[in-house]
């Protein structure tokens, strides 16, 4: 049991190292890109703003130029619609 626990702990550390300290979460994180544009981070994916109507914002995956069709819609910074079909 002690060995199993140690292995599990090791795996967890390895995962954290792989994702470079970024915590994968279902809670959207609103950040600003290097170019000063708003971005949304979710589960390790990044989305950029495609259009907004008042409090409603449509986000598209930053890999859209590579054919990713994932999209998110937020209202008042809450996810109301999510198409999680990433191709990467």
Binding positions for Zn ion, rule: CB under 5 A: 61, 63, 68, 70, 86
Report in angstroms how near the CB of residue 29 gets to Zn ion at its nearest: 16
- Cα distance between residue 63 and residue 12, in whole Å: 27
**Nearest distance from C-beta of residue 36 to Zn ion, angstroms:** 22
Residue nearer to Zn ion on the CB measure, 40 or 70: 70
- Dist. CA 79–CA 72, nearest whole Å: 7
- Residue nearer to Zn ion on the CB measure, 13 or 51: 51
9 vs 84, beta carbon nearer Zn ion: 84
Instruction: Tell me the backbone φ, ψ of residue 64, rounded to 5 degrees.
Output: -55, -40
């Amino acid at each position: 049991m002690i060995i199993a626990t140690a292995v599990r702990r090791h795996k967890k550390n390895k995962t954290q190292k792989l994702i470079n300290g970024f915590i994968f979460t279902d809670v959207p994180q609103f950040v600003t890109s290097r170019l000063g544009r708003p971005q949304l981070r979710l589960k390790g994916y990044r989305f950029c703003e495609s259009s907004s109507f008042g409090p409603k914002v449509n986000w598209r995956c930053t890999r859209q130029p590579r054919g990713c069709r994932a999209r998110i819609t937020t209202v008042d910074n809450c996810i109301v619609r999510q198409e999680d079909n990433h191709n990467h």
